[in-house]
Amino acid sequence: MATDPGRVGEPTLDPAALYREEIYTDRKVGTLRVLVPVTAAGAPDPARPTLYSGEAQLLTNMGPLPISFDIEASTFTEAVSRYADAAKTGIERAMRELMELRRQASSSIVIPQGGALPPSGALGGGGKIQMP
């Protein structure tokens, strides 16, 4: 985004990579986001492709989880017709990521309740490991 990613505090837009964002929804299932490429003057830029992405919510016991996914399409009509398949793929990807996060959390090391570990070699035989 910035012209020099190493410099903090001076964010600038890249005039060669601008898009106009359009949002469409059926107010039932989700949202279709259309990114139309534009020139620095704001006119349509036919040299670059229009990008399509979808958004949906997955209801979990912790509340709604927003899911975003790209839709491979060259026209608006094609993007609308491919929304369901792309949403299914996006939800499957999110489920795999959630499963991986759960796996990582369940295999993490739990520090004893004292909060600090004794000096090296001082564990003796009285240490207790607690599993979540």
Entry pTM:
0.68
| pLDDT at residue 111, as a whole number | 63
| pLDDT at residue 105, as a whole number | 84
| pLDDT at residue 1, as a whole number | 47
pLDDT < 70 regions, the chain? 1-8, 109-132
* Backbone dihedral angles phi then psi of residue 119, each to the nearest 5 degrees: -55, 155
The C-alpha atoms of residue 24 and residue 44 are separated, in whole angstroms, by 19
